[in-house]
Amino acid sequence: MTRTCGFDPASVEFARGHFIGGQVVEDATDHLSVARPSDLIPYADLPIGTADTVDRAVTAARQALSSSGWATQSPRERVRAMRRWADLVESHQEELGRLEALGSTRPISQVIASDVAGVAEAIRFFSEWADKLGGDVAATRSNDLGMIVSEPYGVVGAITPWNFPLSMASWKAAPALAAGNAIVLKPSELTPFSTVRLAQLAVQAGIPPGIFNVVQGTGAVTGDAITRHPGIAKISFTGSTRTGTAIMTAAAESGIKPVILELGGKSPQVVFADADLERAADCIAGSLLANAGQACVAGSRLIVERSAEAALVGLLQRKLSNIVPGHTWNASTDYAPIVSEIQARRIDRILQQSRDQGAEFVMGGQRIEGYGGAWYQPTLLTNVTAATAAVREEIFGPVLTIQAFDTEEEAYALADHPEYGLAAGVYTRDLGRAMRAMRAIQAGTVWINRYTRTMDFILPTGGYKRSGIGKDLGRQAVEQNLRHKTVLIDIGADQAAR
Ligand code: NAD
């Protein structure tokens, strides 16, 4: 059942340490003060895990793998334990929801209806793969038997961003665990605490202590130590392209580890004049307002056929005016704060730079004052080119640039971003054109006459170009948590045939 109760942020209790070997551990000498995005008031100190803390977590993970049978028992046991975990997430939806809403940009009503519900479903989805991906028997000549055997990596390292902390943690942990791995996960230092509760529920569900470990800390110290630890066999990262580059370099320098990178985006929304404009405006506005644009797949570049531009922009102005900003712990809030003052200043900078380059503001462009934290007005920018900062850079705020086109070819050229290729939206009633657009656009996901994911977790997500390598979600996410051993056996079939 969906609950939308507001709550007192001071009433929320949570563990402040790392979670290693099934225990909350507070062994850090250095701490970081963590603030609530809604009012920027510090509410807890976060221990900064060192290379020693990471080593302790990796040791706990290895011991758990060797003593618990997580990877070696019947895979159905993993299915059962993970299902119990998903059930516990659901039965703790209010507690998890409050913790997430307290420490992140996600309004409580949305956390409970969408994020926590999605986490439970993602865990269930991945649990179901645990006994279904064993490998293949290969086509060989008859006196040999060739097999490709799937095996878990052992200890997987994961590093997650701040924009959807619980969802991102579940997208990393659930496929890794379903495949028989243990995980050492570092959440963002801006939104660290809900992930520990998720891991505690895993242990409560019967997943052996040490299989899901959380090490808290900063990227430069703790994240780097995870990436470089020799006992971690693979890294799965979600975050910015800049950090993804550093992680790929560190993984190469420290032992050639495979890396899965889910990185930034600057996704186009291509609207043809024959589209259902009301529907297109709903989808585009929805994408911009979701987490106030702080989503990797935010459709932040509108590319619209010139004859439909005025009508569509009018619709968008109306739909983007309907927002309810407020603290994330108020039940009525539907519009998220910007995560930090640093991030708000980044939006200020890109907008100022765009203004200096000639961009004109159709609406927005200012902060919304009065709540303590930083909120940004939904912002529409016109008179922009491919060189304008707001068109070029990932903003991670509620900013939509508008560019008009006259021909299909021009639309696809504008849609193409020199760096990013995460997602795209296409709106048209012409099936042939929709398919041509799908082929022409360089992106890991193309949504047609809709925008954003559903709970069909069978559909993977991931980027082209510098938006990333590999996939989260889908069968692919489990396969990426398995490595493949080739076996060739001489079975002497020739002799038997003689
Ligand atoms: P970020 O890159 O600043 O940080 C992400 C994580 O990496 C954090 O946990 C951080 O502590 C850690 N980190 C930072 N430096 C590190 C280093 N040198 N070594 C190891 N770890 C390090 O990103 P963010 O600001 O938290 O999140 C926003 C970014 O995430 C955006 O670019 C967004 O597009 C991207 N994102 C992508 C997806 C996707 O699926 N493609 C999903 C969500 C967010």
**For the chain, what is the mean pLDDT?**
96
Q: Average of pLDDT values for 356-367?
A: 97
Residue of the nearest CA to atom 43 in ligand 1?
296
CA 127 to CA 135: how far, in whole Å? 17
Question: Measured from the CA of 468, which atom of ligand 1 is nearest?
Answer: 41
Residue of the nearest CA to atom 14 in ligand 1?
219
- pLDDT, position 275: 98
Q: At 232, is the secondary structure helix, strand, or coil? A: coil
- pLDDT, position 26: 87
pLDDT bracket for residue 29 (50, 70, 90)? confident
pLDDT bracket for residue 1 (50, 70, 90)? very low
CA 334 to CA 155: how far, in whole Å? 39
CA of 475 to the centre of ligand 1 (A): 23
Q: Cβ–Cβ contacts within 10 Å for residue 143, how many?
A: 14
- pLDDT, position 495: 58
CA of 458 to the centre of ligand 1 (A): 24
What percentage of residues in the chain have a pLDDT greater than 70? 98
Q: Is 227 in the pocket of ligand 1 (CB under 6 A)?
A: yes
CB neighbours of 479 closer than 8 A, spacing ≥ 6?
Answer: 133, 150
CA 486 to CA 422: how far, in whole Å? 33
Residue of 100, 262, 393, 394 marked active site: 262
What are the start and end residues of each CATH 3.40.605.10 domain in the chain?
A: 18-263+467-485
Question: Measured from the CA of 250, which atom of ligand 1 is nearest?
Answer: 19
CB neighbours of 301 closer than 8 A, spacing ≥ 6?
Answer: 266, 267, 268, 269, 391, 400, 401, 403, 414, 415, 417
Question: Measured from the CA of 339, which atom of ligand 1 is nearest?
Answer: 25
**Per-residue pLDDT tens for 330-339?**
999 999 999 9
Question: Measured from the CA of 218, which atom of ligand 1 is nearest?
Answer: 11
CA of 432 to the centre of ligand 1 (A): 37
Q: Is 238 in the pocket of ligand 1 (CB under 6 A)?
A: yes
**Per-residue pLDDT tens for 124-163?**
999 999 999 989 999 999 999 999 999 999 999 999 999 9
Catalytic, 95? Answer no
Q: Is 243 in the pocket of ligand 1 (CB under 6 A)?
A: yes
Question: Measured from the CA of 467, which atom of ligand 1 is nearest?
Answer: 41
**Per-residue pLDDT tens for 414-449?**
999 999 999 999 999 999 999 999 999 999 999 999
CA of 47 to the centre of ligand 1 (A): 19
Residues 18-263+467-485, CATH architecture: 3-Layer(aba) Sandwich (3.40)
Q: Which two tokens stand for residue 293?
A: 């644009």
Given a cut of 60, whether residue 81 has pLDDT beyond it is yes
From the number of C-beta atoms within 10 Å of its C-beta (0-12, 13-18, 19+), residue 284 rates as buried
Q: Is 262 in the pocket of ligand 1 (CB under 6 A)?
A: yes
CA of 73 to the centre of ligand 1 (A): 34
Q: Average of pLDDT values for 319-338?
A: 97
Given a cut of 90, whether residue 261 has pLDDT beyond it is yes
Residue 83 corresponds to which amino acid? R
Q: Is 480 in the pocket of ligand 1 (CB under 6 A)?
A: no
Given a cut of 60, whether residue 116 has pLDDT beyond it is yes
Q: Is 220 in the pocket of ligand 1 (CB under 6 A)?
A: yes
Residue of the nearest CA to atom 12 in ligand 1?
219
- pLDDT, position 39: 96
CATH of domain 268-448: 3.40.309.10
pTM, 2 dp: 0.97
Q: Cβ–Cβ contacts within 10 Å for residue 22, how many?
A: 19
CA of 264 to the centre of ligand 1 (A): 8
What are the start and end residues of each CATH 3.40.309.10 domain in the chain?
A: 268-448
